[in-house]
DNA sequence: GCGACAG
DNA sequence: ATCTTGTCGC
């Protein structure tokens, strides 16, 4: 994907929004409900299945799940994941009965070319403390952290510290934690560790991944049962032009 | 042209 | 992200 007008507009949009990110300490002591966000989709199908989970601390019990299926309006473009995934994730979040104290996103926060990854985008849109916990470093470099859970090393992007490579489980690759919005990095790491529960990925996003996949399978089965009435997968119209309602806009 | 590249 | 078989280890 090249620098189409919509892509350039999105870059400018991210830079403008990044200036509004705050780095508050997370009130970890009173933290009770932590949400997780993830999506699933089938290979050539531009349909997104989102899941938002709410997990209770400190026992990591799953107390609420919302899933939602919507057509994607953007392709996946490295650095512009938000424009693809944020709309359906925000719509799903709006259906939550609980108001979580914080959100963990399957993706990056400040570890991003314009310092505005999906976790920043969602946190800012929701005005909620948000952190990114990704499975791959997205171009950032790091020294291998020690083997014990809690061991960590700085994540560097363009020579700048943007997050942590954090060991959450012995014998597993580290996860890549960066601040999204209204959170400090050490608190973000502490929260991820508090949610690890013996797994590599923190419970909120790990369970959201499971739920989003279940939603994709359920949707596929439902479509199969509908036969002729099933939605025909319209190919994603791309690129888009100015004035298109998919143009980067502050509401999503 | 080649390799990188969150999900 | 998804596609895919077997394989290694607790």
Residue A247 lies in a domain: no
Residue A190 resides in a domain: yes
Positions in chain C where some atom is under 7 Å from a protein CB: 1-3
CATH of the domain at A51: 3.30.2170.10
* C2 C1' to A137 CA distance, Å: 19
Look at residues A109, A139, A71 and name the one whose alpha carbon lies nearest to residue A205: A109
Q: C9 C1' – A171 CA distance, angstroms? A: 12
Integer Cα distance of A58 and A31 in angstroms: 9
pLDDT at A226: 85
pLDDT of residue A29: 80
Domain for residue A59, yes or no? yes
Range of the domain at A216: 33-224
Task: Please give the tally of structural domains in chain A.
Answer: 1
What is the pairing mode between strands A130-134 and A47-56? unpaired
Is A232 domain-assigned?
A: no
**Nearest nucleotide, CA A84 to C1':** B7
CB of A83 nearer than 7 A to strand B: no
Looking at residue A1, its pLDDT comes to: 56
- Nearest residue to nucleotide C10 when comparing alpha carbons to its C1'? A171
Q: Look at residue A206 in the predicted model and tell me its pLDDT.
A: 98
Nearest nucleotide by C1' position to the A209 CA atom: C1
- State how far the Cα of A235 lies from the Cα of A232, in Å rounded to an integer: 9
Residue A233 belongs to a domain: no
- A206 Cβ contacts chain B strand, under 7 Å: no
- pLDDT, residue A13, reads 96
Q: Which nucleotide is nearest to A137 (CA to C1')?
A: B6
pLDDT tens across the length of chain A (252 residues):
568 999 999 999 999 999 999 999 998 888 999 999 999 999 989 999 999 999 999 999 999 999 999 999 999 999 999 999 999 999 999 999 999 999 999 999 999 999 999 999 999 999 999 999 999 999 999 999 999 999 999 999 999 999 999 999 999 999 999 999 999 999 999 999 999 999 999 999 999 999 999 999 999 999 999 888 888 888 899 999 898 999 998 766
Residue–nucleotide distance: A202 CA to C8 C1' (Å): 25
Residue A19 located in a structural domain: no
Residue nearest B4 (alpha carbon to C1'): A139
A138: left (phi over 0), alpha (psi -120 to 50) or beta: left
Residue A176's DSSP bridge partners are A134, A165
Protein-to-nucleotide distance from the CA of A170 to the C1' of C7, whole angstroms? 21
């Amino acid at each position: 994907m090249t620098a189409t007008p919509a892509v350039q507009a999105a870059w400018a949009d991210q830079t403008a929004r990044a200036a509004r990110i705050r780095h508050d300490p997370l009130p970890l002591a009173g933290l009770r409900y932590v949400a997780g966000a993830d999506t699933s989709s089938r290979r050539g199908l531009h349909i997104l299945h989102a899941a938002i989970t709410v997990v209770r601390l400190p026992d990591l019990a799953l107390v609420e799940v919302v899933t939602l299926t919507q057509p994607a309006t953007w392709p996946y473009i490295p650095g512009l994941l938000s424009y693809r995934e944020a709309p359906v994730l925000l719509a799903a979040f709006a259906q939550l009965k609980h108001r979580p104290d914080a959100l963990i996103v399957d993706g990056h926060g400040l570890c991003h070319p314009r310092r505005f990854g999906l976790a920043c985008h969602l946190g800012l849109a929701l005005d909620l403390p948000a952190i990114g916990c990704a499975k791959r470093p997205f171009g950032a470099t790091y020294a291998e952290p020690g083997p014990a859970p809690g061991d960590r090393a700085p994540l560097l992007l363009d020579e700048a510290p943007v997050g942590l490579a954090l060991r959450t489980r012995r014998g597993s690759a580290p996860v890549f934690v960066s601040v999204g919005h209204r959170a400090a990095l050490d608190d973000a790491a502490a929260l991820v560790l508090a949610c690890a529960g013996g797994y590599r990925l923190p419970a909120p996003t790990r369970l959201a991944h499971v739920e989003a996949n279940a939603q994709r399978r359920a949707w596929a089965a439902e479509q199969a049962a509908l036969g002729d009435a099933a939605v025909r997968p319209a190919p994603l119209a791309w690129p888009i032009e100015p004035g298109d309602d998919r143009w980067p806009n502050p509401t999503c």
